[in-house]
């Protein structure tokens, strides 16, 4: 049983960055306004995600750690998903691949914590904590040397953690994010920080993109808006003259979820085809929002793939909206 759990867990949690993704998404689902991610040794010895969200009542802590237990949907509601999580797999998986402690305090409740190690849960104990949740994952993969071996250098793992956090920071401009390297112990060193952005959605997003991608992107970004048959597009795309060298700066989100999707990337390229040579990538941060039944996000828990029910509509929406914005800007 424990071995099977570890194998299943390895599908969801491949490296420290995938643990960070799951934990930060949980914090976002819990309506956190401030999220801190601390790591030591590339996240291999320590990951700690602290949020000021709704918390988990002491009595619910064991349930949160049970496989396929989720507070986010009931079985009938699978098509109507508005949260990141809905499978109830992340916490049990993390408890199977490392030493996991969850301390939490829900409004009006006592704080409590529980530790899971090698898939075995200890007792629920009282804890000292403000409202919110602190999830600590120690010694990731120490019980599975084969997986540990596949992790890259601390530097590479830190880079991957940073990418996950920056991507989610773009998706949630109203939330503050802090990334902290605590490898040396103590308070550590802040390596990335953004405060919650104020203002309407486009203003907040524009400011957030300036902080995450740099002011040069923000200054060269065209506001993108469009709608087609129930699919909505919003975001910013850079003028063709904006260059980040060889670096690809394409960030795509479907219903708030970061995705990598060939269809969307192809549409983006198609829209810029007349203005950019093949070896240059248009820079853009685009959000496609649609009723949940129009898109399947359930392809793979860790791969962030999506499948549109009407791919042609999604493609047409992007190409048309981008071409329109480029034309307005004189291209
Ligand atoms: P899922 O996110 O798919 O529901 P998880 O295993 O990630 O599954 O989490 C299980 C449950 O634990 C969640 O449904 C939620 O009720 C609770 N939970 C996890 N993290 C947090 C958090 N940071 N704040 C509040 N509740 C949380
Ligand atoms: Mg989750």
> Which domains are present in the chain?
2-194 (3.30.565.10), 214-328 (3.30.230.10)
Q: How far is the CA of 197 from the centre of ligand 2 (A)?
A: 24
* Residue 50 CB-half CA count within 13 A: 9
Question: What are 130-177's pLDDT values in tens digits?
Answer: 899 999 999 999 888 888 889 999 999 999 999 999 999 999 999 999
Question: What average pLDDT does the segment 100-129 reach?
Answer: 94
From 91, 96, 106, the mutation candidate for ligand 1 (largest count of ligand atoms within 8 A of CB) is 91
At a CB cut-off of 8 Å and minimum separation 6, what does 277 contact? none
Closest residue by Cα to residue 303 from 12, 86, 10? 12
Residues with CB under 6 Å of ligand 1 are 22, 26-27, 29-30, 51, 53-56, 64, 70-72, 85-91, 133
Q: How far is the CA of 207 from the centre of ligand 1 (A)?
A: 29
CA distance 264 to 154: 32
**Helix ranges restricted to H, 30-135:** 61-64, 90-97
Closest residue by Cα to residue 227 from 270, 170, 287? 287
Q: Which atom of ligand 1 is nearest to the CA of 89?
A: 6
Q: Which atom of ligand 1 is nearest to the CA of 135?
A: 23
Give CA separation, 71 vs 63, 87, 89, 250, 297, in Å: 9, 10, 12, 32, 19
CA distance 152 to 133: 29
Task: Give residue 182's Cα distance to chain centre.
Answer: 21
φ, ψ for residue 177, nearest 5 deg: -130, 135
CA distance 300 to 7: 15
From 18, 26, 107, the mutation candidate for ligand 1 (largest count of ligand atoms within 8 A of CB) is 26
The predicted pLDDT at position 276 comes to: 85
Task: Give residue 301's Cα distance to chain centre.
Answer: 12
Q: Which ligand is nearest to the CA of 27?
A: 1
DSSP string, 221-266: EEEEEEEETTEEEEEEEE-TT--BTB---EEEEETTEEE--HHHHH
Would you place residue 245 in the very low, low, confident or very high pLDDT band (cuts 50, 70, 90)? low
* Nearest protein Cα to ligand 1, atom 16: 71
Would you place residue 247 in the very low, low, confident or very high pLDDT band (cuts 50, 70, 90)? low
* ipTM for the assembly: 0.98
Would you place residue 291 in the very low, low, confident or very high pLDDT band (cuts 50, 70, 90)? very high
For residue 180, pLDDT beyond 60: yes
Q: How far is the CA of 304 from the centre of ligand 2 (A)?
A: 14
Q: Which H or E run contains 47?
A: strand 46-51
The DSSP bridge partners found for residue 238 are 221
């Amino acid at each position: 049983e424990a071995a099977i759990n570890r194998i299943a867990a390895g599908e969801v949690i491949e490296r420290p960055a995938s643990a960070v993704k799951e934990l930060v998404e949980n914090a976002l689902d819990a309506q956190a306004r401030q999220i801190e991610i601390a790591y030591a040794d590339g996240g291999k010895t320590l990951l700690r995600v602290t949020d000021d969200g709704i918390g988990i009542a002491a009595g619910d802590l064991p349930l949160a750690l049970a496989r396929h237990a989720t507070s986010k949907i009931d079985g009938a509601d699978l098509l109507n998903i508005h949260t990141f999580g809905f499978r109830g797999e992340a916490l049990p998986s993390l408890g199977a691949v490392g030493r996991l402690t969850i301390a939490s305090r829900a409004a009006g409740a006592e704080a409590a914590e529980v530790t899971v190690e090698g898939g075995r849960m200890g007792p629920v104990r009282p804890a000292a904590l403000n409202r919110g949740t602190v999830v600590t994952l120690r010694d990731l993969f120490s019980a599975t040397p084969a997986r540990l071996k596949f992790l890259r250098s601390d530097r590479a793992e830190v880079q991957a953690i940073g990418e996950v956090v920056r991507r989610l920071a773009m998706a949630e401009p109203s939330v503050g994010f802090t990334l902290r390297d605590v490898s040396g112990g103590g308070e550590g060193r802040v390596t990335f920080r953004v405060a919650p952005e104020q203002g309407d959605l486009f203003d907040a997003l524009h400011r957030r993109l300036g902080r995450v991608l740099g002011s040069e992107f923000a200054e060269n970004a065209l506001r993108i808006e469009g709608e087609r048959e129930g699919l909505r597009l919003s975001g910013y795309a850079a003028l063709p003259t904006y260059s980040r060298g060889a670096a690809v700066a394409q960030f795509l989100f479907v219903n708030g979820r970061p995705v990598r999707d060939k269809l969307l990337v192809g549409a983006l390229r198609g829209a810029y085809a007349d203005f950019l040579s093949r070896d240059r990538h248009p820079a853009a941060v685009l959000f496609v929002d649609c009723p949940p039944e129009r898109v399947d996000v359930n392809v793979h828990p860790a791969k962030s793939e999506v499948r549109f029910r009407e791919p042609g509509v999604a493609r047409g929406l992007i190409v048309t909206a981008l071409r329109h914005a480029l034309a307005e800007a004189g291209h």
